[in-house]
Structure 1
Amino acid sequence: MKRGSTIFLKIALILIGIPILALCIYVLPLIIKGAGEGSEEMAYVLYGILTIMYVSAIPFYFALYQSFTLLSYIDKNKAFSEISVKALKKIKNCAATISILFVAGMPLFYIVGEVDDAPGVIVIGMVIIFASMVISVFAAVLQRLLQEAIHIKSENDLTV
């Protein structure tokens, strides 16, 4: 594979990570500050949502790192190896973890949507759940295909 396409994908991964980092550093603390000024009951709900967002950033960045290493394996012509399968498995697990975190937090999104009369908040939570589940399933399919390709390759290598 051409190195230029993997460089483009690595840059895309970095560009995906920067807005989430900015959100965690600048925007979420502003929301926490604003939550302290509102009603006490809503503050606890917002703190719960923000906790879920901060905790979900950990598997998000771990999955980005694994994607980056997977692209490095492709550059080194190690795409059809067990380490690539392990990287895809970790990406799958991270995406599933993010989805589980947001499913657990959906009642909090519902409360915010009801109090503020903003059903868009619930939709945002649903989009995050759906997107992470799609990524998890896609990584699982790729993992399975890669395992089968490695198996076929090893059988062909043994055939004389």
Structure 2
Amino acid sequence: MKQVSTLFLKIALILIGIPILALCIFLVPEIGDVAAKLLPKFAFIKYLVYIIFYASALPFYFALYQAFNLLRLIDKNNAFSLLSVIALKKIKYCAITISCLHVLALPLFYLFAEMDDAPGVIFVGLVVPFASMVIAVFAAVLQKLLQEAIDIKSENDLTV
């Protein structure tokens, strides 16, 4: 049963990565072009969009890789190990990095909202940083709980 559920989660990780790759290939260049058209005075804005979105894709895929490693550790019955704590720590840092990079893109969402007179666009821009921070906090809590469980396990091993 455990192998089936981890297999399901591994497939889900792959299915999460595919749309983000498609967004990076097809949507990011379009967003860059739109930003350059909306702000012709700032021609570099197109490249800033590329840098922010592509730079946030790198920690995203690294976090997916760490989650995949975490699932492999669960399959090998090594969930309560220091490697799991390290993987959760890396996932936490990746989520914080993604959130910070997307906060840098919020002024672009503000400019889009001003141009289209649609203030709801700003809330759309807040979705990724907020979701990333939720993931970072969740990973931090899991990291702390796992570390405490490992400490208790090592104390119990020493008492016996």
Normalising by structure 1, report the TM-score: 0.91
The residue type equivalent to 2:27 in the other structure is V
Which structure 2 residues correspond to residues 11-160 of structure 1 after superposition, within 5 A? 11-35=11-35, 40-41=40-41, 44-160=44-160
- Stretch deviating more after TM superposition (24-33 or 1-10): 24-33
1:8-31 C-alpha deviation (Å, 9 max, x unpaired): 000110110000001111222234
2 CA distance for matches of 1:110 and 1:38? 12
CA separation of 1:37 and 1:128: change in aligned 2, threshold 3 A: closer
- Stretch deviating more after TM superposition (69-78 or 43-52): 43-52
4+ runs deviating over 6 angstroms: none
- TM superposition shift of 1:115: 1.5
1 CA distance for matches of 2:138 and 2:69? 18
Q: CA RMSD in A?
A: 1.9
Normalising by structure 2, report the TM-score: 0.91
1:68-125 C-alpha deviation (Å, 9 max, x unpaired): 0000000011100000000000000000001111122212221121122232321121
- TM superposition shift of 1:47: 4.0
- Stretch deviating more after TM superposition (32-41 or 93-102): 32-41
The residue type equivalent to 2:125 in the other structure is G
2 CA distance for matches of 1:45 and 1:113? 16
The residue type equivalent to 2:70 in the other structure is L
Contact 2:10–2:71 (CA<8 Å) still a contact in 1? yes
Contact 2:102–2:128 (CA<8 Å) still a contact in 1? yes
CA separation of 1:119 and 1:129: change in aligned 2, threshold 3 A: same
The alignment covers a number of residue pairs equal to 160
Contact 2:31–2:49 (CA<8 Å) still a contact in 1? no
CA separation of 1:32 and 1:104: change in aligned 2, threshold 3 A: closer
1 CA distance for matches of 2:142 and 2:136? 10
Identical-pair percentage: 66
> Any idea what SS the aligned residue of 1:28 has?
helix
